[in-house]
């Protein structure tokens, strides 16, 4: 996906998140994140938006912690979130493609990294907000879901800090089933970080499959895997050990 497409996702998904949070109320429970209420979701995502925008706008070239979470609540907290989200979108749109700043996953450029990362950050938490509100979730584009799966498999879980490890070598297949847009990844598990390859490069011990959107959310532990065949313990291992540590 192009940088401009990721920025559009950040813009749209943030607006949907704010709308769902306002409709749910800041005291509502978040079923997809059982330890959170909507106020926790807004404070976290609003802080991350400001944290990301600061790296870009201030050309920060080394890691810094995020800011403090606000004590705001109710309508004031929703408005605080909207302000930070709008500032992030404006910063992404105004930044030249050759900007030099810190990033923590491979990408064609720091701006490409931050646009993609915040598109996924905002989408996952939009899903959280809509789970608190209830009702039908907003749709997700197949191409974006595939791109997000790749960020997770080739980015986050290629890092040393990934906890998705197996005492015995095993192969997990991830397969999307959207008509005409099927994609397959082979994830080799061991006592080292997972190694992901495009396509069917080895026999699988377990396969998880479904639409790209459903698989995206399942890999982020927001939904159960749509379909599991083979050794279900590997699917359970993913759910147990895949929570992400940022930075």
Give me the CATH topology for the region 142-241: Nonspecific Lipid-transfer Protein; Chain A (3.30.1050)
Residues of the chain with CATH 1.20.120: 3-133
CA distance 42 to 128: 10
Per-residue pLDDT of the chain (247 residues; tens, 9 = 90+): 999 999 999 999 999 999 999 999 999 999 999 999 999 999 999 999 999 999 999 999 999 998 889 999 999 999 999 999 999 999 999 999 999 999 999 999 999 999 999 999 999 999 999 999 999 999 999 999 999 999 999 999 999 999 999 999 999 999 999 999 999 999 999 999 999 999 999 999 999 999 999 999 999 999 999 999 999 999 999 999 999 865 4
User: What are 219's two structure tokens?
Assistant: 């890999």
> What's the CATH class of domain 3-133?
mainly alpha
Query: What is the residue-wise DSSP string for 176-195?
Result: E--TT---EEEEEESSS--E
* CA atoms within 13 Å, Cβ hemisphere of 236: 4
Residues of the chain with CATH 3.30.1050.10: 142-241
């Amino acid at each position: 996906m192009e940088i401009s497409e990721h920025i559009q996702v950040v813009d749209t998904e943030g607006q949907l998140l704010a709308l769902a949070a306002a409709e749910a109320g800041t005291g509502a429970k978040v079923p997809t994140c059982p330890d959170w209420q909507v106020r926790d979701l807004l404070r976290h995502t609003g802080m991350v938006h400001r944290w990301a925008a600061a790296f870009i706008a201030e050309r920060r070239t080394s890691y810094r912690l995020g800011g403090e979470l606000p004590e705001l609540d109710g309508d004031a907290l929703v408005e605080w979130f909207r302000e930070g989200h709008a500032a992030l979108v404006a910063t992404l749109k105004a930044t030249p493609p050759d900007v030099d700043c810190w990033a923590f996953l491979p990408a064609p450029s720091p701006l490409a990294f931050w646009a993609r990362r915040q598109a996924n950050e905002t989408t996952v938490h939009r899903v959280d907000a809509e789970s608190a509100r209830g009702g039908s979730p907003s749709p997700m584009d197949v191409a974006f879901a595939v791109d997000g799966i790749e960020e997770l498999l080739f980015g986050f879980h290629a890092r040393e800090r990934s906890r998705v490890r197996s005492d015995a070598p095993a192969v997990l297949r991830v397969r999307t089933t959207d008509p005409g847009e099927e994609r397959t990844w082979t994830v080799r598990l061991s006592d080292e970080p997972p190694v992901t390859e495009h396509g069917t490069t080895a026999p699988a011990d377990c396969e998880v499959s479904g639409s790209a959107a459903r698989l995206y959310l399942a890999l982020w532990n927001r939904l159960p895997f749509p379909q599991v065949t083979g050794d279900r313990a590997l699917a359970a291992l993913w759910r147990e050990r895949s929570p992400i540590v940022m930075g």
